[in-house]
């Protein structure tokens, strides 16, 4: 039987039953696409018992897994950990960080030149301590 028929046996409407079926109180799994439910006569007593318990519990609060994103955070969610507070202080010290647009050919050329210079400095430092990495020069 479908949701409408089961709701009629439970003395409720199909919409309210579907709300219950999507809640954490329900262990019934939808079948097929579109989250359709199919019940047998043997499942009705269990369904009725859990549905009544759900109604007595009142409107259930959303759990973390099915809660929607809150567009405006509450005061409790604004509590910051010590790590976050430390991070914010560092960000405030640094000031506004502006990254240039890498799609600009001048910015791209400058970034490549900086990377080559850093690569050359690294190769010189490695050679100074007796190490040689010949593959670095092969990229050009």
CATH dotted code for 3-56:
1.10.1660
Q: Where in the chain is the domain with CATH 1.10.1660?
A: 3-56
pLDDT in the model for residue 113: 94
The predicted model scores a pTM of 0.40
33 sits in which H/E element: none
Residue 34 has pLDDT above 70, yes or no: no
Could you tell me the two tokens for 13? 């409407």
- Is residue 67 over pLDDT 50? no
Answer whether residue 79 shows pLDDT above 90. Answer: no
Pick from 39-43, 70-74, 91-95: least confident: 70-74
Residues with Cβ < 8 Å from 68, sequence gap 6 or more?
Answer: 62
DSSP state of 24: T
Structure tokens at 116: 């080559």
């Amino acid at each position: 039987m479908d949701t409408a028929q089961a709701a009629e046996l439970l003395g409720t409407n199909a919409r309210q039953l579907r709300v219950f079926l999507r809640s954490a109180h329900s262990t019934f799994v939808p079948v097929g696409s579109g989250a359709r439910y199919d019940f047998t006569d043997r499942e009705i007593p269990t369904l009725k018992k859990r549905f009544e318990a759900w109604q007595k519990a009142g409107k259930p609060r959303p759990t973390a897994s099915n809660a929607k994103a809150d567009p405006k955070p509450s005061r409790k969610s604004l509590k910051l950990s010590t790590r976050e507070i430390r991070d914010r202080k560092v960000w405030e010290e640094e000031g506004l960080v502006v990254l240039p647009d890498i799609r600009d050919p001048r910015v791209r050329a400058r970034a490549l030149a900086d990377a080559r210079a850093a690569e050359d400095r690294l190769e010189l430092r490695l050679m100074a301590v007796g190490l040689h990495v010949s593959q670095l020069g092969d990229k050009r």
